Amino acid sequence: MFPFLFVVLLSLSWRTNASALPVQEFLHCLCLRSQNSSIAKLVYTQNNSSYSSVLKSAAQNFRFTTPSTPTPLAIVTPLHASHIQAAVYCCRKHGLQVRTRSGGHDFEGLSYTSAYKVPFVVIDLVNLRSVRVNVEKATAWVESGATVGELYDEIARKSKTLGFPAGICPTLGVGGHLSGGGYGLLFRKYGLGADNVIDARLIDVKGRILDKKSMGEDLFWAIRGGGGGTFGIVLAWKLKLVAVPANVTVFTVRKTLEQNATKLVHRWQSIAHKFPKEMYPSIAIARVNSSEDEEKMTIQASFTSVFLGSIEELIPLMEEKFPQLGIVKEDCFEMSWAESNLCATQCPIGVSLETLLERSQKSVLSKTFFKAKSDYVKQLIPESAFQGLWPKFYEDGAKFASMVFVAFGGKMEEISETESPYPHRAGNLYSILYVVDWEEEENKTLNKFMSWMRRVYNYMTPYVSKSPREAYSNYRDLDIEANKINNDKESYAEARVWGLKNFKNNFDRLVHIKTKVDSQNFFRHE
| Whole-number pLDDT of residue 150 | 97
| Whole-number pLDDT of residue 229 | 87
| Whole-number pLDDT of residue 487 | 52
Rounded Cα distance between 411 and 171, Å, is 26
pLDDT at residue 225 greater than cutoff 70: yes
Quick one: CA torsion of 327, 328, 331, 335, rounded to 10 degrees?
Answer: 100
CB atoms within 10 A of CB 304: 19
pLDDT class of 14 with cuts at 50, 70, 90: very low
Note whether 408 and 183 are within 8 A (CB).
no
Rounded Cα distance between 34 and 372, Å, is 40
Element (H, E) at 84: helix 81-93
The model's pLDDT over 415-424, given as tens digits with 9 standing for 90+, comes to 999 999 999 9
Q: Is 422 a catalytic residue?
A: no
Q: Supply the DSSP symbol for 236.
A: E
pLDDT at residue 467 greater than cutoff 90: yes
Note whether 415 and 425 are within 8 A (CB).
yes
The model's pLDDT over 195-210, given as tens digits with 9 standing for 90+, comes to 999 999 999 999 999 9
pLDDT class of 292 with cuts at 50, 70, 90: low
pLDDT class of 488 with cuts at 50, 70, 90: low
| Whole-number pLDDT of residue 4 | 39
Rounded Cα distance between 167 and 353, Å, is 16
| Whole-number pLDDT of residue 5 | 37
Least confident of 9-18, 31-40, 111-120, 447-456: 9-18
Least confident of 123-132, 331-340, 474-483: 474-483
The model's pLDDT over 161-194, given as tens digits with 9 standing for 90+, comes to 999 999 999 999 999 999 999 999 999 999 999 9
Q: Which one has a higher pLDDT value, 40 or 363?
A: 40
> Nearest CA to 474 among 421, 408, 427?
421
| Whole-number pLDDT of residue 198 | 98
| Whole-number pLDDT of residue 367 | 84
> Nearest CA to 103 among 161, 149, 172, 151?
172
Q: Which domains does the chain have, with CATH numbers?
A: 19-124 (3.30.43.10), 131-244 (3.30.465.10), 247-336+360-460 (3.40.462.20)
Q: What is the mean pLDDT of the chain?
A: 92
pLDDT class of 349 with cuts at 50, 70, 90: confident
pLDDT at residue 454 greater than cutoff 50: yes
CB atoms within 10 A of CB 58: 24
The model's pLDDT over 366-423, given as tens digits with 9 standing for 90+, comes to 789 999 999 999 999 999 999 999 999 999 999 999 999 999 999 999 999 999 999 9
| Whole-number pLDDT of residue 485 | 62
CA geometry: angle at 335 spanning 329 and 340, to 5°? 105
pLDDT at residue 222 greater than cutoff 50: yes
Rounded Cα distance between 376 and 427, Å, is 10
pLDDT class of 16 with cuts at 50, 70, 90: very low
Note whether 372 and 481 are within 8 A (CB).
no
Average pLDDT over residues 60-74: 94
pLDDT class of 322 with cuts at 50, 70, 90: very high
Average pLDDT over residues 494-519: 95
Average pLDDT over residues 257-284: 98
pTM higher than the cut 0.85:
yes
| Whole-number pLDDT of residue 489 | 52
The model's pLDDT over 27-37, given as tens digits with 9 standing for 90+, comes to 999 989 987 76
> Nearest CA to 175 among 97, 92, 84, 262?
84
pLDDT at residue 9 greater than cutoff 90: no
Q: Say which of 430, 434, 475, 492 is annotated catalytic.
A: 475
CB atoms within 10 A of CB 11: 16
Looking at the DSSP bridge assignments, the partners of residue 131 are: 142
